[in-house]
Structure 1
Amino acid sequence: MPTSLPDSCELAAIPPRDDPRDALIVKAGLPYTSLKSLPEGAVVGTSSVRRSAQLRRLYPHLRFANLRGNVETRLAKVDNSDSEYTCMVMSAAGLERVGLEHRISQYLGSKDGGILHAVGQGALGLEIRKGDRKMQELLGQLADQQSTLACLAERSLMRTLEGGCSAPIGVETEWISAGALSIHAIVVSLDGTKSVEDTIVSNVKTVEEATALGKELAARLVKAGAGEILNNINANRPPKN
């Protein structure tokens, strides 16, 4: 779902969020159990610039190779004995939804592996025609308040930074007490050599407060240099055909 919806559409509800973290999956038969245990030159499969940028920042001894396809296709490519892949990184929710959570070697977060997830990862956004009250009432029954407010704060951050799904922006939100939302975000250069990160905590009870929190954190990141990182990436991006 784009961070800015068409004028004719709106977000009706976000049900309870699945695990938003990324996960490390090691090739079957290899002994490694974490990012730290991977040897020099190990090849990580991922097609995400957010993941590869953060991994380059923390684990410069690793190599990266593009890996695409659905969950089963990617897993088969990694497990193939003739492939170059040592492991892959993808969303934990994607594995859990197809019953493959047993293949997860390590769940990744700021406190374990150091990788922040994508905006809205693990969440399902229900988009409807704007102003459709019947659908608003129907789908509103599925909404989870904490998941909704956390995701709206993340989306506001991304929208303010003008980053899309191809931008190296990681985020992590956590409810640390009743009504207090912590949002941690990082912007990383593609080669992992430059980064800006910050955390902000505030009481959030409404959509407006969630949106304002995301905007405030984005402004702090830009002031610290995130805008320059993103501008350099955009300036060097190949033109679209």
Structure 2
Amino acid sequence: MSGAVKLGTRGSALALWQAEWVRAALARHRIAAELVVIATRGDAEVDRPLHQLEGKGFFTHEIEEALLDGRIDVAVHSLKDLPTELADGLALGVVPERGNAAEALVTRDNGITSVAGLAAGATVGTSSLRRVAQIRHLRPDLAVVPLRGNVPTRVQKVKEGRDGLDAALLAAAGLERLELADRIAARLDPLEVMPAPGQGALGLEVRADDQTVRARLAPLEHAPSARAVAAERSLLAALGGGCQAPVAAYVGPRAPGPGSRLYGRVTALDGAVQLTASADIDERDPVAAGVAVADLLQAQGASRLLGR
């Protein structure tokens, strides 16, 4: 292809940072790229928690349409927002090096360094069912309330104590990318509050038959990150969960010895029951680990917790 690669992105501050990061990374390989901003349903409908909206792909559908129509060449996504089942004709082309996958606690008051450190009855904001369920499991006394908006808005709402907020959970990577790391009270152990499958990673989606664009993106591929998110997304797909399901996944080091291990978790929405399982990852077939962990969770009753 001739001309600049057109990168489709949402218009939020974080999405623009991510797309600009991709543009700069391509520029280092002497590949020109330009940003095309596309509004999505998830950006427009901010008055309700995402799980109350019908359908899926709230932050990706309109960008995928532009990709299929040829208006853009690459869709730049936060990988945790991208459904595991892609539209016909599209494929996950490249996964660049992953950022921090952990959850971050943001608090109104200073001096709090953990979920355990929050006062009894404190109000925590999040609209993620995965976070809601895990917080309720850890601290059933806390009041968990919906919190939507872009990352800086959510942080500001907590710092101002708006709507009685004492704290919120956000992805550490988003805060770090927007230079808001100083607002993080604590980076949570992924085995305490487990992140979403693919959290901290970018996914560069392409047309499945566009080998030219794939070749131009190839220098950005980071094999260890791609293997980790393949295992995590395989777990989510095997459980039949969407991006808003209370399914968590995390790839950490295998101990003792070299290699990686996949951890998966399903938590009842009321926090009363939490299931966790894990399996070693074979680098030659990371998807198999996701299927194995899903089978272990199913054997413990995950389908019942997921409402199926």
Structure 2 counterpart of 1:97, from 167, 177, 185: 177
Instruction: List runs of 5+ in structure 2 lacking aligned partners.
Output: 1-81
Q: What is the RMSD of the two structures over their aligned residues, measured on CA atoms? A: 1.6
Query: Are 2:279 and 1:203 equivalent residues in the alignment?
Result: no
Query: Are 2:129 and 1:53 equivalent residues in the alignment?
Result: no
Amino acid at match of 2:139: Y
Structure 2 counterpart of 1:216, from 292, 297, 300: 292
* CA distance, structure 2, for counterparts of residue 179 and residue 149 of structure 1: 15
In the other structure, the counterpart of 1:134 is 212
In the other structure, the counterpart of 1:156 is 234
Structure 1 counterpart of 2:148, from 53, 61, 68: 68
User: How far 1:81 sits from its partner (Å)?
Assistant: 4.3
User: How far 1:109 sits from its partner (Å)?
Assistant: 2.2
Q: 1:81 to 1:174 in 2, by over 3 A?
A: closer
* CA distance, structure 1, for counterparts of residue 116 and residue 124 of structure 2: 13
1:208-241: per-residue Cα shift (whole Å, max 9, x none)? x111111111111111111111125xxxxxxxxx
In the other structure, the counterpart of 1:236 is none
SS at match of 1:192: coil
SS at match of 2:232: helix
CA contact (8 A) 2:103 2:190 kept: no
Paired residues in the alignment total 226
Say which structure, 1 or 2, has more relative contact order (CA 8 Å, 6+ apart): 1
* CA distance, structure 2, for counterparts of residue 78 and residue 70 of structure 1: 13
* Identity rate, percent: 37
Query: Are 2:99 and 1:21 equivalent residues in the alignment?
Result: no
Q: 1:12 to 1:43 in 2, by over 3 A?
A: same
User: How far 1:82 sits from its partner (Å)?
Assistant: 5.1
SS at match of 2:245: coil
User: How far 1:84 sits from its partner (Å)?
Assistant: 0.4
SS at match of 2:97: coil
Could you state the TM-score of these two structures normalised by the residue count of structure 1? 0.89
User: How far 1:34 sits from its partner (Å)?
Assistant: 1.5
In the other structure, the counterpart of 2:83 is 2
* CA distance, structure 2, for counterparts of residue 65 and residue 197 of structure 1: 25
- Kindly report which structure 2 residues correspond to 1:178-189, keeping only aligned pairs within 5 A, or say none: 180-189=259-268
- Kindly report which structure 2 residues correspond to 1:112-131, keeping only aligned pairs within 5 A, or say none: 114-131=192-209
User: How far 1:202 sits from its partner (Å)?
Assistant: 3.1
CA contact (8 A) 1:195 1:226 kept: no
